[in-house]
Amino acid sequence: MSLMLGIDLGGTAIKSALVDRSGATSDTRSTPTPQNDPTGQRSIEVLTELANSYRETAEVSGVGLVVPGLVDAQNGIAIYSGTLGWRDLDIVSQLEANLGIKVTLEHDVTAIGHAENRVGAAKDASSAVVVAIGTALAVSVIIDGEVYHPHPAVGELGHTPTKNQRPCVCGLKGCLEMTASGGALSRNYKAETGEQVSALEIFERSQSGDTTALELVEEFMDVLSTSFVFVSALVGPEVIVLAGGVSTAGDSFIDRLNQELDQKLTIHRRPKLVLSKLQAGSGSVGAGLLAWERLG
């Protein structure tokens, strides 16, 4: 059976899976993302090896690749990624030359929104906002059952200002994702304590008496919920889907966000907050589904 290979290249891990036309996955894997790779050449080598390893045991018709940042999907170019350090990387042409099969490129959170809209938590909603919280933060907007993405910068909510002044890789200070992302939470905790721990562990510590963890999580919840107020005022979504690594945080994470929203929303339409059913795999699912639409 012919399958598409969906690959979600993130800041710390490359999530991949074989995806059929319905969005069902098999052979799900996680591979470390090469670090300090501003040219992208090491990543292209890893992606080539990864795709070829899948092709040893499966009939792969094409590859759907998604990456963070601004992308030119039509021409297969990663225009800018602060997470990866890339600028104007012609990644599709290089991968196609290496693999000899077609590759399609998309923004990672756009693909996540596509997956949630087709087979995930936003499937039955006419309007939704999918918030991917991982190494960074971005959103995918779904209106009338379709992902709204008219140009590359739509959805970059993580690069909107907050009252904080932490420097961002984009060159500004105080961007939302410097406080309200898994990567930021880990960095900020390390800056305070010298200890490197995951965002999920910091959430757990915030509930067990760790004052530094509690302060950072409260700050995280405050700025994230405030951004949801603006999203609610502008889009009025039925549902906000929380995807990415933080989606595994569980019901307590949703409960705390709901409490913050209850204090900040008044006349606005109250969105329902839900965790992604696809969780960390939504990017690779969306990449595979987009590959079927564009290449299949």
E strands, the chain, are 2-9, 13-19, 25-32, 59-67, 70-72, 77-81, 86-89, 102-107, 127-133, 137-143, 146-148, 239-243, 272-275
250 pLDDT higher than 90? no
Percent of the chain surpassing pLDDT 90: 86
Mean pLDDT over 263-269 rounds to 92
Q: What does the pLDDT read at residue 23?
A: 95
Q: Is the domain of 28 the same as that of 150?
A: no
The whole-angstrom separation of Cα 82 and Cα 88 is 12
The residues near 53 (Cβ < 8 Å, ≥ 6 apart) are none
Residue 277 pLDDT level (bands cut at 50, 70, 90)? confident
Task: Output the furthest CA–CA distance in the chain (Å, rounded).
Answer: 56
Q: What does the pLDDT read at residue 1?
A: 82
287 pLDDT higher than 90? yes
pLDDT, tens only, 78-136: 999 988 999 999 999 999 999 999 999 999 999 999 999 999 999 999 999 999 998 89
In a domain, residue 157? The reply is yes
Q: Is the domain of 108 the same as that of 25?
A: yes
What tokens does 10 get?
A: 């993130």
Residue 264 pLDDT level (bands cut at 50, 70, 90)? very high
The whole-angstrom separation of Cα 38 and Cα 125 is 39
Q: Is the domain of 87 the same as that of 182?
A: no
The whole-angstrom separation of Cα 68 and Cα 109 is 7
Residues 185 and 212 sit within 8 Å (Cβ to Cβ): no
CATH of the domain at 87: 3.30.420.40
**Residue 170 φ/ψ, nearest 5 degrees:** -75, -10
**Residue whose pair of structure tokens reads 């990449």 in the numeric block:** 287
The whole-angstrom separation of Cα 246 and Cα 54 is 28
Counted domains in the chain: 2
Q: What is the average pLDDT value for the chain, to the nearest integer?
A: 94
Neighbours of 3 (CB within 10 A): 23
Q: Is the domain of 261 the same as that of 291?
A: no
224 pLDDT higher than 80? yes
Q: Is the domain of 128 the same as that of 107?
A: no
The whole-angstrom separation of Cα 70 and Cα 261 is 30
48 pLDDT higher than 90? yes
Q: Is the domain of 170 the same as that of 25?
A: no
Q: What does the pLDDT read at residue 135?
A: 86
Q: Helix crossing, 182-193 with 199-206: angle to 10°?
A: 70
Residue 179 pLDDT level (bands cut at 50, 70, 90)? very high
Residue 177 pLDDT level (bands cut at 50, 70, 90)? very high
Nearest to 130 by CA among 283, 249, 296, 291: 283
Q: What does the pLDDT read at residue 228?
A: 97
280 pLDDT higher than 80? no
Q: With a threshold of 0.95, does the pTM exceed it? A: no
Class of residue 244 by CB neighbours under 10 A (exposed 0-12, middle 13-18, buried 19+): buried
Write out the residue range of the structural domain in which residue 213 sits: 123-277
Q: Is the domain of 253 the same as that of 138?
A: yes
Q: Is the domain of 131 the same as that of 69?
A: no
Q: What does the pLDDT read at residue 86?
A: 96
The whole-angstrom separation of Cα 39 and Cα 85 is 8
Q: Is the domain of 107 the same as that of 187?
A: no
